[in-house]
Structure 1
Amino acid sequence: MLNDLQSKQCDENETDFSDLSALFLNCTLKKSPEKSHTCGLIDMSRTIMERNGVSVEVLRPVDHAIAFGVSPDMTEHGWSKDAWPGILEKVLASDILVLTTPIWLGDKSSVCTQVIERLYSASGQRNDQGQSIYYGRVGGCLITGNEDGAKHCAMNMLYSLGHLGYAIPPQADAAWLGEIGPGPSYLDEESGGPENDFTNRNTTFMTWNLMHMARMLKDAGGIPAHGNQRDKWEDGCRFDAPNPEYR
């Protein structure tokens, strides 16, 4: 899975990442065990993390009965089933979250949109310091497709994660694109995807940057809690400015 340079980087690493955990949400439209080309790119990043002691889980949201909506548990709003609360527990137990998606019609998958909406449903929850529940965690994204749109998808996905409270390191995205129109996908033998140097470089940089930033945040105890606590803002600890309505 890793080339010689990637393996050498892992062998020469002196930073302890063994107390970190990562969750990859593979927003493919294909249920397990159907082959996911997006999972092929995940495997490279996952291997680098695991070689460095990070505990990694890969989950396909499409395998689970996730309700639509923007509340933490949609069974409270008329849905008979909602697997999202259990997935959210995994999200909140992870130091690193990587959203991954194929490209359809130049955009991220419908599953990825649903996942972001459900992540947003917990945006009103706060940590022990009164910050967004996602503060102190790191986010990135991986994208595959046979048509253009990778940067468009990354902009939306990384903005969404940052808006929710995730820290986004430099070079936090990577992608592979095949030829425009029908053609081989990432894992197809004739695609050249796994050998693509540009994709391999960006995936490697993204993975290490996620681990480095997660290490820094964990060692620092998260994002300093000054000037970003909603409780204190609502209690009046601010300059003479109106209190924005929370939506």
Structure 2
Amino acid sequence: MKAVVINCTLKRSPEPSNTDALAGVVSAELEKHGVEVETIRAVDLDIPPGVQTDMGEGDPWPEIHEKLVNSQILIVASPTWATHHSSVAQRVIERMDAMLSEKDDDGRPINFNRVAGVVATGNEDGAHNVISAISHALNEFGYTLPGQGWTYWNQGPGPGDTYLDTETGHEWSHSTGRAMASNLVATAKALRANPIPPPPS
């Protein structure tokens, strides 16, 4: 089983990323379940805007698209900015929109029988909004989202430390992240054993 984590931080490598750190907790738990995990830091790739799978020469998205099609689990991880997901996360969502018109060999939407989850971080409120917005988009694109298929860390109202600056709240975020990973794997296995059929014509 394969998983792709798309880290939608605004920070280019090798700058430390709070979002990457929490997503790493989920990735480590997925690996304990025997899942092969690949992390993509989207901001490093200069993904052009658009709603097509291939926007032409130099577009890195087709390679990401191939990884998504060849994986069973997707995690979109985003920081929180002004209560919303990052502009990079929105770019990823917009590029995934092209998948709405893609079908598998049995005529199902291409992302049927794949599962997805969300990781959110930020030193401000807004994680629930980030999770709900990204979850809705992924579900619209055909992914199945299990109950408690997310985790987050937010510092709370007002300015303050970031995830990497403090241990406060980590225990809850990490245990929730481990549960998220377990639920994603269990749901992926269930769909593999009993796939969603093609929609009625």
Note if contact 2:108-2:197 (Cα within 8 Å) is conserved in structure 1: no
Deviates more, 1:197-206 or 1:119-128: 197-206
Partner of 1:192: 167
* Structure 2 SS opposite 1:187: helix
Q: Is the 8 Å Cα contact of residues 80 and 121 (structure 2) preserved in structure 1?
A: yes
Distance in 2, matches of 1:201 and 1:47, equals: 12
> Is structure 2 residue 196 aligned with structure 1 residue 223?
yes
Matched, 1:209 2:183: yes
Aligned equivalent of 1:171, options 129, 148, 163: 148
Deviation readout 1:4-34 (Å, 9 max, x if unpaired) = xxxxxxxxxxxxxxxx111100000111111
Shift of 1:201: 2.5
**Does residue 52 of structure 2 align to residue 71 of structure 1?**
yes
The two structures have a TM-score, normalised by structure 1, of: 0.78
- Paired residues of 2:8 and 2:42 also in contact (CA < 8 A): yes
User: Shift of residue 82 of structure 1?
Assistant: 1.0
What runs of 5+ residues in structure 2 fail to find an aligned partner? none
* Aligned partner of 2:22 among 22, 41, 45: 41
Which one has the largest radius of gyration?
1
Q: Tell me the percent identity.
A: 37
Aligned Cα root-mean-square deviation (Å): 1.3
Q: Secondary structure at the match of 2:100?
A: coil
Using the alignment, how far apart are the partners of 1:181 and 1:91 within structure 2?
A: 37
Q: Distance in 1 between matches of 2:175 and 2:16?
A: 24
The SS at the match of 2:196 is coil
For normalisation by structure 2, the TM-score amounts to 0.95
Deviations 1:135-170 (A, max 9, x none): 110000000001111111111111111111001101
Residue number in structure 1 paired with 2:102: 125
- Listed as ranges, the matches of 1:70-109 within 5 Å are 70-75=51-56, 80-109=57-86
1:123 Cα offset (Å) = 1.3
What number of residue pairs does the alignment pair up?
201
Instruction: Give yes or no for contact 1:25–1:60 (8 Å, CA) kept in 2.
Output: yes
Which is further off, 119-128 or 196-205? Answer: 196-205
Alignment of 1:141-160 (within 5 A): 141-160=118-137
* Contact kept in structure 2, 1:64 and 1:83, CA below 8 Å: yes
Unaligned runs of at least 5 residues, structure 1: 1-19, 234-247
Q: Distance in 1 between matches of 2:175 and 2:97?
A: 31
CA distance in 2, matches of 1:39, 1:112: 13
Query: Letter of the aligned partner of 1:224 in structure 2?
Result: P
1:182 — aligned with what?
A: 159
* Larger RCO (CA under 8 A, 6+ residues apart): 2
Mapped contact 2:33–2:185 kept (Cα < 8 A): no
**Runs of 4 or more off by more than 4 Å in structure 1?**
none
